[in-house]
């Protein structure tokens, strides 16, 4: 699994995402990028079966920059965090075909839940193993 974050850690919203990334199990933690150029470099690095990108757009300008590299995001499941709730912004955001939309003024619990679900679906617990072992010990 490849996980990529685009957010500015110097902003409180960006810091929240940074903390969210650090809360993940080490093997699932993503790379953090603060500029479009850094993000671009990361997007073209080897991909995996599941590729997730969490994008924090703190302005419409950010969103425009992201739309300009939309093609590079096509293999990624996008979680997009928009700067505001204006219709124009939301409509711009949909150009990226995000799997999930959130807003910069949220507490990101929604983002954490969605991210968790995506990872869980990618790597479900080997649910058969435990019952079989338990069954063997039990008999």
Residues found near another protein in the complex (CB under 8 A): 37, 40-41, 44-49, 69, 71-72, 75
Closest CA to 102 of 4, 13, 31, 10: 13
Nearest approach, Cβ of residue 39 and another protein (Å): 10
Please say which residue, 32 or 76, places its beta carbon nearer to another protein: 76
To the nearest whole angstrom, how small is the minimum distance from the Cβ of residue 36 to another protein? 8
Question: CB of 68: closest distance to another protein in angstroms?
Answer: 8
Taking phi first (over 0 means left), then psi (-120 to 50 degrees means alpha), and beta for anything else, what does residue 32 get?
beta
With respect to another protein, which residue has the nearer C-beta, 12 or 45? Answer: 45
Shorter beta-carbon distance to another protein: residue 73 or 111? 73
Are 29 and 20 in contact by the 8 Å Cβ rule? The answer is no
**What is the C-alpha to C-alpha distance for residues 55 and 80, in angstroms, rounded to an integer?**
5
Q: Which two tokens stand for residue 117?
A: 């679900």
Q: Least Å distance between CB 46 and another protein?
A: 5
Rounded-to-integer distance, Cα 137 and Cα 96, Å: 51
Q: Which is nearer to another protein, 48 or 105 (CB)?
A: 48
User: What does each C-alpha distance from 109 to 20, 22, 60 come to in angstroms?
Assistant: 9, 14, 23
């Amino acid at each position: 699994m490849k996980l990529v974050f685009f957010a500015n850690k110097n902003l409180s919203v960006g810091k929240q995402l940074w903390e969210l990334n650090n809360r993940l199990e080490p093997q699932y933690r993503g790379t953090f990028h603060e500029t479009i150029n850094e993000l671009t470099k990361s997007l073209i690095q080897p991909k995996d079966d599941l590729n997730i990108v969490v994008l924090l757009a703190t302005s419409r300008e950010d969103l425009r920059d992201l739309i300009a590299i939309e093609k590079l995001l096509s293999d990624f499941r996008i979680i997009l965090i928009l700067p505001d709730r204006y219709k124009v912004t939301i409509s711009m955001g949909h150009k990226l075909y995000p799997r999930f939309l959130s807003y910069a003024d949220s507490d990101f619990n929604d983002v954490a839940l969605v991210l968790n679900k995506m990872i869980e679906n990618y790597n479900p617990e080997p649910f058969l193993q435990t019952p079989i072992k338990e069954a063997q010990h039990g008999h």
